[in-house]
A and B are shown apart, each in its own frame.
Chain A
């Protein structure tokens, strides 16, 4: 446990992704089974301890500390696990040789009766050092937010055996902690685990953004095009297990199992196989905006009311598995033909096909992209964020292979806004002011409408940073307030993908995916856009302010 705790502690302070992967890989290399397998389970979110609640921890610390001192400490630290880890009184005789292993903790928690839990927990907290206590409490309360995603942990596993991360994904869902077979395989001591999951995740194929210069090199006859829907890219997989039971799972683009959040979709797949598609919310057959979909996402409890109000839907793009046949090596047009047949066979209100856009020249496709409403998307045109261009003969390959799939997004919306506040970035950027809050005019005052921390070049970042340092007029903690009035200030051209009303923002509007497109050193602040312009964009969804 102490070694796992030391790893978590190091990860918490390491901002760089590659260094995090190296830390995790080192730990996995130097730690034996089953300890490392449980650590991997903890990092990939594969462990749940429903009995170990924050209430129990509060009760244990309350028995050991003055309530006023605890309250003042908690108030200062702001995190229950860390407060308790720091406050826990050292036992009269140190018992660090009795520090539990992670495996012992996990096994005990899985089997212990609720009444014995306080005793176990007390014994562990007495035996661990501060970092160990912190990691233990984080682990059992499910708050292991340590800046390590499941994907990153799997990448570290892959690194042990010089494999691609996707090779791990391919077998992942058939495995369970402590992953003996997985480690044996990546270290060359065992066979590749046969993934016996009837509905496993297959790594998604991604597209490159198309450049203007690409069109001259690409023959339109080699490609098909379809709408790029503004939802959540998902994979729906279904199969029949050895007992004859049908299993359906819904995965995010990165392989996270999100089935539990969408019980209304679990019978949408009426045939065995796997499809790649977009998760949308449809009301009376009409695709709703991303803003509406967002209200359905990240809910802890999925109520009947939520499902009725935000009915989920899958719009299918591609077929990866047909029955039990892996069709990924087949050309896109052949997969599409099979997908079409599968969907045509079943009338299914929760699943439909994403239509192709007919075109014979890039000019024709450009026209369709500019006016989706008259090119097949019709009343759903607002939910189109551009088009996808796919080579007819492209196999379905994991990752982002070159030259096969392209995305051609609609031109972003653009406004001219005024820089108002700046904050330092993280990691490599910690000496730069790189997080910028910008505003537009409301009456004769500026009102903040968004925050952007990318879009600029390194060279531009140096210039922005210099501007912030020279024009600071006030400071609030880490935030610098810069000169911004009708006479002086800096205008930023901000590009964004969408805009919606938001009661949570002071300005009443929220932008999607804002970034700094250009720095308008030349433009007087008085000529920056007004809030009314943004409000009009919400009405019309017009790309230019």
Chain B
């Protein structure tokens, strides 16, 4: 018996990727890619599970008479789909995935299957994410237009932040990029995996006013928080698939929305489901209704799984969001 991405501690867990809603500490044993195990160790400490086992992409393992195989999902570094095969039926649990190119992780691999388990974070036809390269160019254009203003970019600490850094580097920007303290360790981890981040400088409270014209990455919640004060006349940017609708961007006080998503948009969700050739679709989290409806029109049997506990990886709908770092920052501002 084993569980994939369990939300509660279990004896044996298979983990698709390192986001906190999928990878939780306290399991008896964890089977995941080397990168995902590394990310969990960075986040939860070396003793995050009783035992760990590294999954090699494309290699079959047998667990309780069931064949299990990991394939790249294109979501973040180390992210994998897990194919489970028994009695001639193959189920692919895709975790979170995207088809758009990402310089920080392996591309998604189509795994033909009978049952495809898909997320639906951006499962509405209004979501057609533009090329991320063009979005990052918007940031650099703003920087040229306002060379005196600090550019604060909200981005999720695992995956999005590193992808943004790589895209900025690929666009030819080689000045230091400043990061919120909560991002330091993961930036270092990516660099340690051979992904060139260039010069990354943590932001210290005292330096803030000196950061004219700098790019500063921070967790999305920090954009509106005490932490964001004292930067010189900041431009507030937010890199997220949610930035596609104006109201959502404005609700968060974002001045420069960057539509960059680590999840598949609507056309890619549909394309992927077709590519797998699945006869049945199970939808985990997000906008399930539209995707289930669409699958029905394509003759694919579909159902929502109504799972609870997923979707708070920073791409999830920002509701009453509050940053995890708030209390410590309050202390800092008092000092």
Q: Contacts A69-B125, A430-B224, A431-B228; is A12 near B293 (CB within 8 Å)?
A: no
* Binary flags per residue of A4-25, CB closer than 8 Å to B gives 1, else 0: 0000000011110000000000
Q: How far is the CB of A77 from the nearest CB of chain B, in Å? A: 5
Asked if A78 is at the interface of the complex by the 8 Å CB criterion, the answer is yes
Whether B250 sits at the interface, judged by CB under 8 Å, is yes
A68 touches B287 (CB 8 A): no
B126 touches A73 (CB 8 A): yes
Residues in B neighbouring A14, C-beta threshold 8 A: 255
**Stretch binding the partner chain, chosen from A82-90, A181-189, A523-531:** A82-90
Output the nearest chain A residue to B267 by Cβ-Cβ distance. A90
**A477 contacts partner chain B, Cβ-Cβ < 8 Å:** yes
Chain A, residue nearest B228 (CB): A431
Expressed in whole angstroms, the Cα–Cα distance for A425 and B124 within the complex equals 30
B326 contacts across to A, CB distance below 8 A: 469
Minimal beta-carbon separation of A335 from chain B (angstroms): 46
> Considering only CB atoms, which chain B residue lies closest to A16 in the complex?
B255
Whether A76 pairs with B330 at a CB distance below 8 angstroms is: no
The one of A79, A469, A477 in contact with B320, judged by C-beta atoms closer than 8 angstroms, is A477
Contact call A68/B293, Cβ cutoff below 8 A? yes
Which chain A residue shows the least CB distance to B226? Answer: A431
Q: Is the CB of A13 within 8 A of B249?
A: yes
* A86 and B244 contact, CB distance less than 8 A: yes
Choose among A12, A76, A78, A87 the residue that contacts B287 (Cβ–Cβ < 8 A).
Answer: A76
Residue pair B126, A77 in contact (C-beta under 8 Å): yes
Contacts known (A87-B126, A431-B224); A13 close to B322, Cβ less than 8 A: no
B229 engages A431 (CB within 8 Å): yes
Is the CB of A476 closer than 8 A to any CB of chain B?
yes
* Interface flags, A458-473, vs B, CB<8A=1, else 0: 0000000000010000
| Residue contact A83 to B126, C-beta cutoff 8 Å | yes
Q: Shortest CB–CB separation between residue A75 and chain B, in angstroms? A: 9
Task: Give the complex CA separation of A174 and B252 in angstroms.
Answer: 42
Q: Which A residues are CB-close (under 8 A) to B245?
A: 76-77, 82, 86
- 17 further A-B pairs in the complex, CB-CB below 8 A; given A12-B246, A86-B125, A431-B229: A13-B255, A15-B253, A65-B125, A66-B294, A69-B124, A72-B287, A72-B293, A76-B245, A76-B287, A77-B126, A77-B247, A86-B128, A87-B125, A431-B226, A477-B319, A477-B320, A478-B320
30 A-B interface contacts by CB (under 8 A): A13-B246, A13-B249, A13-B254, A13-B255, A15-B253, A15-B255, A68-B293, A69-B124, A69-B125, A69-B290, A69-B293, A72-B293, A73-B125, A73-B126, A77-B126, A78-B247, A79-B246, A82-B245, A82-B247, A86-B244, A424-B224, A424-B253, A430-B236, A431-B225, A431-B229, A475-B322, A476-B320, A477-B320, A478-B251, A478-B320
Give chain A's interface residues, CB within 8 Å of chain B: 12-15, 65-66, 68-69, 72-73, 76-79, 82-83, 86-87, 134, 424, 426-427, 430-431, 469, 475-478
